[in-house]
Structure 1
Amino acid sequence: MTDTKPTLPQRPFFSSGPCAKPPVWDASKLDSRSLGRSHRSKIGKARLAYCIDLMREVLNLPDTHRIGIVPGSDTGAYEMAMWTMLGARPVTTLAWESFGEGWVTDAVKQLKIDPTVMRADYGEIPDLSAVDWSHDVLFTWNGTTSGVRVPGADWIPDDREGLSFADATSAVFAQDIDWTKVDVATFSWQKAMGGEGAHGVLILGPRAVERLESYTPEWPLPKVFRMTKGGKLIEGIFKGETINTPSMLAVEDAIFSLEWAKSIGGAAEMKRRANANAAALDTIVQDRAWLGHLVVDPAIRSNTSVCLTVEGADAAFIKSFAKLLEDEGAAYDIAGYRDAPPGLRIWCGATVDTADIEALGPWLDYAWNALKA
């Protein structure tokens, strides 16, 4: 091993959430007009509505789908949908990583709706052709902790009877989502946008709105979950009149990221950047016998939260590996998720520059050689 150290990535932010800020981000560039103001003020409501409009534009979301900013990050948004809409018909939950398992736990132990559960190990996916679409179906579009994504939307039928609930938090702004196949989608700004945490985004298609207006669950709903009044959707929620007080600083940060995404070419360019990053990381993996992909099948491999195996590594080795790179300022937060098999997890979303992924390769070698020695 040589004492010469590789060139550092310019921005060593490879965390899978919160993720890297956009390349041009600077706190001083945030619009401050709404800060210190009520979210109910004219400027507060205008900025919240503008944020929603930008999300619609960048995501190419059809007018048929409503967008709401809700509390509790992606988890809050998804649980909001589960608690308000499930129970009207049978439910199938799909789980191939920890967050999918979280929705299973909510359905089984909290809501007690006795769902059909279809599971797969980390790195794999259940047989999607076996899903019964007379059921409401819960799934993660991209499993952040396993690096497994669904292979498109062809497995979701147009004539489905149940609703499709997609946890899309590490898929939006990076992968193609056929919104005609999605009745409910959730995400948080802290993933592919490089925004701040604590706020979730809830997207409702017309069939989800119909469910909300025609069905009342048998369990009590906390205030932050209630989206209807008198049997009608509270439309203000989807125009920037949030259920609880949002952080206007987080909103302005989200607006900055969305304006950046729009300026570079929108969702298509965001996807291209993520694909380029994932391809650069794949080249690094292919060139090293000691590295591998947790997700062997490229058709279901994420282009954002890419999970890697390390030859012979256990949890202690991975912890030391990640700490060494963090101490060197070469890579932050790249240890795999705590419930996943020991390995590395490297964010390749659009807010990361491909040159920094390429610069990471020699540093992975550096850490491997240092620890093996």
Structure 2
Amino acid sequence: MKKHNFNSGPSILPQTVLQQASEAIIEFNNTGLSILEIGHRTPHFMTVMEEARSLVKELMQLDDSYDVIFLHGGATTQFMQIPMNLLDSNETAAYCDHGVWGSKAIKEASLFGKVDVVASSKDKSYTYINKGFTVPNTSKYLHITSNNTVEGTQWHSLPDTDVPIVADMSSDIFSREMDFSKFSLMYAGAQKNMGAAGVNVVLVKKDLLGTIKRPIPSIMDYQKHIEANSLMNTPPVFAVYVAMLTLRWIKAEGGLAEMERRSLEKCNLLYSTIDTLSTFDCRINVEDRSRMNAVFFLSNPAHEAPFLELCKQEGMVGVKGYRTVGGVRVSMYNALALESVEAFTSLMQHFATTIA
């Protein structure tokens, strides 16, 4: 039976990337060594790191005012590393609370400085993105989560502010065209749209750094990692290699314009099916729906368990909603083929017919 991988992360990877990565585990670039064995300071791996960093900037059309660093710890580490590098204890940062990850980022930032929650959709169970809110000009930066993986919302236009914008892009990076120069710092775990778990990427404007007075532990200092070209300590070599292969694949497939075209095709099909069938209920404001993670429910809660069981029987993997939210979650990252969404929507239509 064909499996359709809708996991929210770690998630589906392109088949060509899996093939190339598996071959490199046996032997990397005719070196006689596995990618798991090569030294991280050897020319073999330094070439991989440099290509990965270069592809990030090329795909996002960023100039040399930005640095790209690959780090351990996943995006969650950035919840503390960002304020550690950017926020003094007497300064205030503005944060948006639109779900689990924004809330966690707020908690960590409050350990290093003052936090002003300038927008929150908690009042309606995180089913929308705030608009028209005010960001004080005295804020050191504004932190947003560009796509809320758990709740199923996504920013489709940026807030109007002169304050530097910092964005957690873990679940929608490289999925659409944007003017990325509007952000002063972007970060993302690799395991959704750009590779395997174990590494996260940080893109930061050079002029954002070096302004705080507190001492920063060397391993947490962005400037130290930039100076060392992401080789300050042993990086997650294999995860960086898989990220490089995935970025190559995105470029070869047509770049972010093509990723966005495919994304719209997939999410439009799924959301139109949800809206057409009364069996299903998407509670997210239409204009704020995520293209990456569609979160919805069965109109009759008693139908949820049998629907999820049918999904399991038919090879639909990873569609159970997040543990604190419930319902159904269908993740549609770059490597997911339209064929899988077509199969899932056909299953939805079949289920709706059988319970009618």
Both proteins in one fold, TM over 0.5:
yes
Q: Choose which of 125, 134, 137 in structure 1 pairs with 2:138.
A: 134
Q: Choose which of 197, 221, 230 in structure 2 pairs with 1:226.
A: 221
Instruction: Check 1:117–1:348 CA distance in 2 against 1; reply closer, same or farther (3 A cut).
Output: same
Q: Choose which of 351, 357, 361 in structure 1 pairs with 2:335.
A: 351
Q: Which residue of 2 aligns with 1:215?
A: 212
Q: Contact 1:330 / 1:360 at 8 angstroms: preserved in 2?
A: no
Report the residue type matching 2:127 in the other structure: G
Q: Choose which of 298, 307, 311 in structure 2 pairs with 1:310.
A: 298
Q: Choose which of 102, 106, 117 in structure 2 pairs with 1:104.
A: 106
**Residues 120-146 of structure 1, C-alpha deviation per residue, up to 9 Å, x if partnerless?**
132112234322243121110111111
Matched, 1:152 2:152: no
Q: How does 1:166-185 map to 2 (within 5 A)?
A: 166-185=167-186
**Residues 301-346 of structure 1, C-alpha deviation per residue, up to 9 Å, x if partnerless?**
21111211221327xx6466435423x2421111122223x32111
Q: Choose which of 320, 332, 337 in structure 1 pairs with 2:317.
A: 332
- Give the TM-score normalised by structure 1: 0.83
Instruction: Check 1:357–1:178 CA distance in 2 against 1; reply closer, same or farther (3 A cut).
Output: same
**Residues 346-372 of structure 1, C-alpha deviation per residue, up to 9 Å, x if partnerless?**
1122211111101112323556678x6
Q: Which residue of 2 aligns with 1:123?
A: 127
Q: Contact 1:309 / 1:343 at 8 angstroms: preserved in 2?
A: yes
Q: Contact 2:80 / 2:109 at 8 angstroms: preserved in 1?
A: no
Aligned equivalents of 1:366, 1:244: Cα separation in 2: 53
**Residues 32-80 of structure 1, C-alpha deviation per residue, up to 9 Å, x if partnerless?**
2443011111212111111111222222222221110011112223432
Unpaired segments ≥5 residues, structure 1: 1-7
Secondary structure in structure 1 of the residue aligned to 2:50: helix
Instruction: Check 1:69–1:181 CA distance in 2 against 1; reply closer, same or farther (3 A cut).
Output: same
Q: Contact 2:87 / 2:212 at 8 angstroms: preserved in 1?
A: no
**Residues 61-112 of structure 1, C-alpha deviation per residue, up to 9 Å, x if partnerless?**
222211100111122234322221123632111111100010111123x335
Instruction: Check 1:113–1:189 CA distance in 2 against 1; reply closer, same or farther (3 A cut).
Output: same
Matched, 1:236 2:227: yes
Q: Which residue of 2 aligns with 1:71?
A: 72
Q: Contact 1:270 / 1:350 at 8 angstroms: preserved in 2?
A: yes
Aligned equivalents of 2:70, 2:275: Cα separation in 1: 41
**Residues 279-311 of structure 1, C-alpha deviation per residue, up to 9 Å, x if partnerless?**
11122212311212231222x221111211221
Report the residue type matching 2:211 in the other structure: S
Instruction: Check 1:21–1:319 CA distance in 2 against 1; reply closer, same or farther (3 A cut).
Output: farther
Q: Which residue of 1 aligns with 2:255?
A: 266
Q: Contact 2:3 / 2:317 at 8 angstroms: preserved in 1?
A: no
Aligned equivalents of 1:264, 1:112: Cα separation in 2: 43
Q: Which residue of 1 aligns with 2:18?
A: 26
Report the residue type matching 2:265 in the other structure: A
Aligned equivalents of 2:201, 2:68: Cα separation in 1: 7
Q: Which residue of 1 aligns with 2:32?
A: none
Aligned equivalents of 1:336, 1:263: Cα separation in 2: 33
Structure with the larger RCO, 1 or 2 (CA within 8 Å, 6+ apart): 1
Instruction: Check 1:271–1:23 CA distance in 2 against 1; reply closer, same or farther (3 A cut).
Output: farther
Q: Contact 1:71 / 1:224 at 8 angstroms: preserved in 2?
A: no
Aligned equivalents of 1:175, 1:319: Cα separation in 2: 34
Q: Which residue of 1 aligns with 2:6?
A: 14
Q: Choose which of 323, 345, 353 in structure 2 pairs with 1:361.
A: 345
Q: Which residue of 2 aligns with 1:290?
A: 279
Q: Contact 1:78 / 1:167 at 8 angstroms: preserved in 2?
A: no
Aligned equivalents of 2:136, 2:284: Cα separation in 1: 25
Aligned equivalents of 2:286, 2:134: Cα separation in 1: 19
Report the residue type matching 2:191 in the other structure: Q
Q: Contact 1:93 / 1:118 at 8 angstroms: preserved in 2?
A: yes
Identity score, percent: 20
Instruction: Check 1:333–1:369 CA distance in 2 against 1; reply closer, same or farther (3 A cut).
Output: farther
Aligned equivalents of 2:337, 2:350: Cα separation in 1: 21
How much does 1:28 deviate?
A: 4.8
Q: Contact 1:123 / 1:294 at 8 angstroms: preserved in 2?
A: yes
Deviates more, 1:256-265 or 1:117-126: 117-126
Secondary structure in structure 1 of the residue aligned to 2:166: strand
Q: How does 1:184-195 map to 2 (within 5 A)?
A: 184-193=185-194, 195=195
- Give the TM-score normalised by structure 2: 0.87
State the number of aligned residues: 342
